[in-house]
Amino acid sequence: MKTGAIILAAGAASRMGKAKMLLPYQGITILEQLISELKTVAPQSICLVTGKYHEAITQTIGDPAISLVYNKAWSNGMAGSIQAGMKALLQQIPDLDLVWIVVGDQPFLCKSVLQEMLRMHQETHKGIVAAQYKGIAGTPVLFSAVYFAALQKLSGDKGARVILQEHPEDIALVAFPQGELDIDTPEDYERFLQQLNQQDAERPIQPGS
């Protein structure tokens, strides 16, 4: 089964005032950490869709395995970035089976969530597998090929959520409580750092350390 991933990182991050996906995270950036986690599930291609901060992201992400896709119409909303990512993916892999839609500001996205989404798809045969937090279905979302045409017809800034709303009967959910933290403001980032510090404090001490 051939899988691909689209990372949406084109927005202006106006409430943050700078490229939030490039904020530090344990010696690297949030975006680099997210890419590292995506690689653990071995998609055939990862397309990183840029916009406002294209140059800064290009300078940071030098990984030849990542396809950088510039969305010149980034200010028109998320739909255009999804379309740009889908076009690039399907050019690379015409017989693509599954695509992840991932946003660049969910720093707690991890291998276990992504693996569970794949397992859930294989077990339920649902066409959509979405993360669930705060009682909603959200990103990351895994779409089967039956929805590729709909993804390419999206408009505005609603993103793929409209597809989830139209097809509730074809959705499987995977719990991702930490997904509720996306980094939109400096306060969000501070809360994220506090959670990281708390996790470090709660981590058991290894013998010999």
3-state secondary structure of 101: strand
The C-alpha atoms of residue 39 and residue 23 are separated, in whole angstroms, by: 20
pLDDT tens column, 24-68 = 888 899 999 999 999 999 999 999 999 999 999 999 998 888 999
Q: 3-202 has which CATH code?
A: 3.90.550.10
pLDDT at 189: 81
- Domain segments of the chain: what residues? 3-202
Residue whose C-alpha is closest to residue 129's, from 67, 182, 176: 176
pLDDT tens-digit profile, the chain (209 residues): 899 999 999 988 777 777 888 988 888 999 999 999 999 999 999 999 999 999 999 999 988 889 999 999 898 889 999 999 999 999 999 999 999 999 988 888 999 999 999 999 999 999 999 999 988 999 999 999 999 999 999 987 778 989 999 999 999 999 999 888 777 787 888 888 887 777 655 544 443 43
The C-alpha atoms of residue 52 and residue 201 are separated, in whole angstroms, by: 36
Pairing of strands 171-175, 128-133: parallel
